[in-house]
Amino acid sequence: MGVYLCVLVASAGLVMTVRRFRATGEGFGPGPRSVLSVLVAATAGAVAAPAVLLVASWLFTPVYVPRYVLVSIPLAALAVAALMRLSRHHVLLSALVAVLGLVGLPQVLSGPQDRGENLAAAAAHVLSASRPGDCIVYTPTWSRPGLDYYLHRLDPAGTRVLTDAAVAAGGASAVAVADMFPREGSLGTVTETLRSCPRLWVAGYGGPTEWRPTPETGSAALEAIRPDRSVSNRSTFGAFEVELWVTPATT
């Protein structure tokens, strides 16, 4: 949704510019008024995209993700070009743009700062170590799509795919793979389902996260049964973690 909002707002700036040109008959020539119109519309579009996301996150639900603002870069570049066209200090502005462009170079050369994740390896590990009757639960909820996709991809016949303990009956389509937000059951129902699973795989991205677009029924149910379980296996695949929770009587 955030990406669509960015594209919509950023595109509005270009549409406004085109309509302005057609209404005034200025065309797309190098005239000062035309360039000024480009500068104003491009700047408004570049700023409005992240602004809409921030306001939506504050009023409704967190949707602001820094990478979504990448859609503003073309408009920001257009605004800079228009500013350089209007200014007499072309050399100074060109040098400033070059310096700003080099600011992020050290970080690019040093490589990614996060560990990423290897979901294919995580799915292979779960399938190789799972047993009939094992269940799986995802925390946070949005951890489900990636691993769920690879579980189905590595086992297309569905002979080893684990039971998704938190999804409610009818909460996901039978043909859906990696459903982003399937409907989860009530807290009581999910908790009882988790208690009935002697071996429970807990998969997700480690560490706290503020992005909770849907109710975390599975996460809440895990907290309820945690005192009755022990972790017999813990594996990390970059930023993705997989644990096997078992009851004391389970070997």
Q: How many CB atoms lie within 10 A of CB 10?
A: 25
CA-to-CA distance for 71 and 42, rounded, in angstroms? 12
Contact yes or no for 172/182 (Cβ under 8 A): yes
**pLDDT for residue 199:** 93
Query: What does residue 238 show for φ and ψ, rounded to 5 degrees?
Result: 75, -125
Mark whether 56 and 135 lie in a shared domain. Answer: no
Q: Does one domain contain both 124 and 86?
A: no
Give me 83's structure tokens.
Answer: 């500013």
Query: Are 179 and 231 part of one and the same domain?
Result: yes
Do 100 and 157 belong to one domain? Answer: no
Is residue 103, in this structure, part of any structural domain at all? Answer: yes
pLDDT band at 127 (very low <50, low <70, confident <90, very high): very high
Which residues are 238's β-sheet partners?
117
135 lies in the same domain as 60: no
* Same domain, residue pair 39 and 63: yes
Tokens 């519309």 belong to residue: 41
Domain boundary among 110, 144, 161: 110
Distances (CA, A) of 134 to 116, 137, 201: 27, 10, 7
Which tokens hold the place of 130?
């799972």
Residue 64 and residue 144 in one domain: no
Amino acid at 3: V
pLDDT tens digits, 196-220: 998 999 999 876 566 666 678 888 8
- Is residue 244 within 8 A of residue 129, CB to CB? The reply is yes
pLDDT, one tens digit per residue, over 71-123 is 777 777 777 776 666 667 667 767 776 776 677 667 666 655 555 789 999 99
Q: 129: how many CB neighbours lie within 10 A of its CB? A: 14
pLDDT 10s digits, 10-57: 455 455 555 555 555 544 445 555 666 666 677 777 777 778 877 877
Domain-ending residue, one of 87, 110, 133:
110
Last residue of a domain, one of 110, 135, 151: 110
Residue matched to tokens 């190789």: 128
Q: Say which residues have a Cβ less than 8 Å from residue 210's Cβ, sequence separation at least 6.
A: 62
Q: What is the pLDDT at residue 201?
A: 94
Q: What is the predicted pLDDT for the residue at 125?
A: 95
- Do 161 and 91 share a structural domain? no
Of 58, 203, 66, which Cα lies nearest the Cα of 127?
203
Alpha helices in 87-143 (DSSP H): 90-103, 105-110, 119-129
Burial of residue 91 (CB within 10 Å: 0-12, 13-18, 19+) is: exposed
In a domain, 251, yes or no: no
CA 7/CA 48 separation, integer angstroms: 11
- What does the block give as tokens for 156? 């297309």
Q: What is the span of the domain harbouring residue 75?
A: 2-110
**Position 156 in a domain:** yes
What amino acid is encoded at 167 in this protein? V
Statement to judge: residues 123 and 217 lie in one domain: yes
